[in-house]
């Protein structure tokens, strides 16, 4: 196998990869020589921990000056030097809107903004378009991938199916057979002709294992034949690239909110916690802007989980009770159930990293009651004319609770991330309304 | 000799298997090279991350064997959710 790097294999402003667990570093040249590929997701020489891309911020700072950034349009690739790319393969799109609350903010006595990742600016109306774009850009640049596999209970499958179809790559989506019909329909709508859904009598974890195993087998055969990889799993095999896409959530919010408020005001940003990768990526994106002197407002990151699935909140409580951050582990949950299905994750992959983000930014993790999630969801629909998935209700319920406990104060600037469009959980909303004996008029 | 490859796994041990020499048995039975990279095992159970080297079809059999012993085995990447 040729171990010389091609132009596409070395992202322009990336130095290499670093293990988040043990700190072992890898250059792209080293990856190519030792593994025959630059698409590597684990620290293979060390602890097999997750890898993260490192950037040359000195070089980036010479290009991304405040003047240069201000002159660029507000689009996804505005800060492309901060992404692991050489050539843009995925078509650009506008920022998702950041809008002021019409009613709820006044009622709560805070300056409330909504970041609308559920809006049409995201091609499939969820935040998953962000990381999936980076994974696809990478494989399209490399040019030797023939198929994409993905396991998902919704938004990621939809984003992946869309990107596969629009870039003419066959896609196989692994889903639990028990997935709601609205979600299945939304996935089917995005599938190309040569793509398929594999419904398994399995839970999400088992679907994920199957997808990774299937991908690995094909790539092993290719490797043994001296060929490059043929398949990828966006959030797994191309994980280091995928992960960088979430930074755009934070950097967009920072550049948008700085036009709305004074530069010394603190911004409290609320995210849902599923895997916690989004909030960790967003925080990284904001800190990069600070490093480049493109954003100066202090910021705090909060994460919200349903009480019925809250391993990160439990770990955060231990820290609040005096335990040292380095001594706290996320205890995975085996059994959990919540109406906010897209964040029903018992073992959040970025949970530990999220604890560091909360500690460093002065934010925190908040657990919320199921009925409060539902009430907040209805409030967003009725009062703001917004239709997020229950995850949006989770975030608003978290803001209410943070105000009640004094974690944020009256008058605070608060951003609520509404990460996915509610249409694809319409059947769930009716089912939950019936369960709680609530009027469903406004959800019709 | 067939060409060997390396696969990385996450193994989860239930309480009743913590004292069983599952790793030792699989290495002997399939003549593999194994390297434990990280682990957290107590008397109540635990997990470990390891890489195993061998021919692809032998690795398939070893994976099946570990699973049949009652240990949950998945690709090491599968917890990068």
Interchain proximity B5–A235, CB inside 8 Å: no
With an 8 Å Cβ cutoff, is A224 touching chain B? yes
Domain boundary among A237, A261, A294: A237
Task: Kindly state the percentage of chain A with pLDDT values over 70.
Answer: 98
Is residue A232 located within the same domain as residue A177? yes
- C-alpha A100/C-alpha A258 separation (Å) is 13
Residue A96: strand pairing partners: none
Q: Which of these, A171, A145, A147, A169, lies nearest to A158 by C-alpha position?
A: A171
- Entry field: residues in chain B: 81
Is residue A114 located within the same domain as residue A254? yes
Nearest to A48 among B37, B56, B74 (CB): B37
Domain ranges of chain B: 19-72
Q: How far apart are the CA of A52 and the nearest CA of chain B, in angstroms?
A: 12
pLDDT in tens, A111-132: 999 999 999 999 999 999 999 9
pLDDT in tens, B25-46: 999 999 999 999 999 899 999 9
**Could you report the predicted ipTM of this complex, rounded to two decimals?**
0.88
Please give the residue range of the domain that contains residue A372. 98-125+246-443
Residue A15 within a domain: no
With an 8 Å Cβ cutoff, is A369 touching chain B? no
Distances (CA, A) of B72 to A110, A425, B66: 48, 32, 8
Angle at the Cα of A353 from the Cα atoms of A351 and A359, rounded to 5 degrees:
105
Residue A198 within a domain: yes
- The answer, yes or no, to whether residue A425 has pLDDT greater than 90, is no
Domain boundary among A237, A259, A294: A237
Q: Do A285 and A408 contact (CB within 8 A), yes or no?
A: no
pLDDT in tens, A269-290: 999 999 999 999 999 999 999 9
pLDDT in tens, A360-380: 999 999 999 999 999 999 999
| Domain covering B19-72 in this structure, CATH number | 3.30.70.260
- At A354, which CATH number? 3.40.50.1100
Structure tokens at A111: 């300056």
């Amino acid at each position: 196998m040729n171990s010389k790097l091609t132009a596409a294999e070395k992202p322009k402003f990336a130095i290499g990869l670093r293990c988040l667990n043990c700190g072992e570093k890898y250059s792209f040249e080293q990856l190519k020589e030792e593994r025959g590929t630059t698409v590597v997701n684990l620290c293979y020489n060390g602890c097999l921990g997750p890898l993260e891309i490192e950037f040359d911020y000195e070089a980036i700072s010479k290009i991304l000056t405040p003047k240069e950034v201000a002159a660029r349009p507000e689009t996804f690739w505005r800060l492309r030097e901060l992404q692991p790319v050489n050539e843009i393969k995925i078509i650009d799109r506008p920022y998702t809107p950041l809008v002021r609350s019409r009613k709820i903010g006044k009622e709560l006595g805070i300056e409330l903004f909504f970041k609308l990742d559920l809006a049409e600016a995201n091609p499939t109306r969820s935040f998953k378009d962000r990381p999936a774009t980076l994974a696809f850009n990478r494989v399209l640049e490399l040019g030797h991938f023939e198929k994409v596999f993905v396991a998902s209970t919704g938004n990621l499958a939809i984003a992946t199916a869309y990107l596969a179809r629009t870039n003419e790559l066959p896609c196989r989506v692994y889903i639990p057979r028990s997935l709601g019909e609205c979600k299945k329909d939304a996935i089917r709508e995005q599938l190309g002709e040569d793509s398929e859904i594999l419904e398994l009598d399995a839970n999400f974890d088992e679907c994920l294992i199957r997808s990774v195993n299937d991908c690995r087998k094909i790539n092993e055969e290719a490797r043994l034949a001296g060929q490059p990889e043929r398949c990828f799993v966006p959030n797994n095999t191309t994980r280091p690239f995928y992960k960088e896409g979430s930074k755009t959530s934070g950097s967009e919010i920072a550049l948008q909110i700085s036009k709305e408020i004074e530069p010394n005001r603190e911004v409290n940003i609320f995210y849902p916690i599923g895997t916690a990768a989004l909030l960790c990526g967003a925080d990284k994106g904001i800190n990069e802007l600070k490093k480049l002197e493109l954003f100066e407002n202090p910021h705090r990151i909060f994460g919200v989980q349903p009480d019925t699935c809250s391993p990160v909140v439990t770990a955060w409580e231990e820290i609040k009770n005096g335990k040292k951050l380095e001594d706290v582990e996320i205890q995975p949950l085996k059994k959990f159930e919540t109406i906010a299905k897209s964040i029903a994750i018992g073992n959040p992959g970025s949970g530990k990293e999220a604890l560091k983000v909360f500690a460093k930014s002065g934010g925190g993790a908040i657990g919320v009651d199921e009925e409060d999630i539902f009430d907040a969801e209805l409030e967003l629909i009725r009062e703001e004319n917004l239709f997020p998935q229950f995850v949006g209700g989770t975030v608003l319920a978290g803001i209410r609770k943070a105000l009640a406990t004094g974690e944020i104060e009256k008058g605070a600037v608060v951003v609520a991330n509404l990460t996915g469009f509610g249409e694809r959980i319409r059947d769930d909303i009716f089912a939950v309304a019936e369960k709680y004996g609530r009027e469903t008029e406004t959800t019709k | 000799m067939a060409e060997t490859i390396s696969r990385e796994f996450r193994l989860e041990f239930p309480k009743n298997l913590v004292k069983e020499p599952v790793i030792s048995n699989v290495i002997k039975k399939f003549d593999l090279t194994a390297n434990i990279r990280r682990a957290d095992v107590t008397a109540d159970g635990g997990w470990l991350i390891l890489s195993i080297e061998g021919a692809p079809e032998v690795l398939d059999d070893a994976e099946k064997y570990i699973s049949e012993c009652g240990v949950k085995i998945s690709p090491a990447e599968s917890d990068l959710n």
